[in-house]
Amino acid sequence: MTAFAQVTCGFLVLDKPAGPSSHACVAQVRRTYGLKRVGHGGTLDPAVTGVLPIALGPATRLLPYLPGEKAYRALVQLGVRTNTDDLQGEVLHQQPWPRHLLRQELELALAPFRGAIEQRPPAFSAVHVQGKRAYTLARSGQALELPLRPVTLHRLELLAWDPEQGTLEMEIHCSAGTYIRSLARDLGETLGCGGALASLRRTAALGFQLSQCVPFEALNDRPPPLLDPLVVLSHLPQHLLSREDLPRWQCGQPQSTDQDWPSGEAVVVIAPNGNLAGLAKMEATGRLQPKLVFPVDS
């Protein structure tokens, strides 16, 4: 954890259980730490478990600078279609799944979903439609067919296939904005029997892993220690301010650097005392333009 003028600032990674919403998890963190300024990175549906990154204090401003990729372990049920594309929704159609499917045939069916693809989000999703969330319109009875969106599945591995139960388990590493429910639905359509997401566990998000998670129940005890933003931002280049540069930085003035970072690159700016001073953007002129400026002790 980093202290900015005695202000709590850091990250907590929750192992979200099935049941509470992401919003409810944030509310519990607020109560545990006695803070109002708390936000999460990457909403999980109530039934989904796993990695839920939470930022506290000024660290909430750092969420857009974290890696967007996510990883999941998913169980897909074949032979069923629902209005939400998972088993929590209303069943629209059921039919037998092809029990004779071989693993090689499943691999062929999965192949078109690997790499850069276009995907249609579920009707019951948080996508904005005419200023409203899609799930709000879907719940009111409106028939929705959302437009396709580009996503990338960097890794899609078939872990297990149970022909008796009609379930297949997959491991997925994907870009931000990917819907695993849509993948389950579309795979079922490819196989001609329908499909829906049976269960989902997020194993990585925004650079955080399951190994860094704190159990949700731990929030009932003393506040767990937070991850230092400097550790969390270690994937970005760093610029160390001199004592002479610090006052100008704190006034929002651009900084000179002899580093040849790409234009537009986000750069972590560190104060002379080793604390996080903020974030800058590398300009084409070779100067660092302040984007976030945090108060630090001189």
Give the angle 247-248-251 at the CA atoms, nearest 5°.
90
Considering the domain boundaries, does residue 298 fall inside one? no
Domain count for the chain, please give it: 3
Domain extent for 6: 2-66+208-229
> Residue 129: which pLDDT band, with cuts at 50, 70 and 90?
low
**What is the CATH number for 268?**
2.30.130.10
**Residue 161 falls inside a structural domain:** yes
**Which carries the bigger pLDDT value, residue 174 or residue 6?**
174
Question: Could you tell me if 75 and 195 lie in one domain?
Answer: yes
In what helix (H) or strand (E) does residue 27 lie, and over which residues does it extend? helix 22-33
Q: Are residues 26 and 89 in the same domain?
A: no
Task: Quote the CA–CA distance of 121 and 182 in Å, as a whole number.
Answer: 6
CATH (domain of 31): 3.30.2350.10
Examine residue 280 and state whether it is found in any structural domain, yes or no: yes
Task: List the catalytic residue out of 15, 45, 85, 86.
Answer: 45
**Mean of the pLDDT values across residues 198-203?**
98
pLDDT by residue (tens digit) across 152-171?
Answer: 999 999 999 999 999 999 99
Residue 8 lies in a domain: yes
Q: Please, what is the end-to-end C-alpha distance for the chain in angstroms?
A: 18
Are 274 and 164 in a shared domain? no
162 is catalytic: no
* Residues 175 and 242 both lie in one domain: no
pTM: 0.90
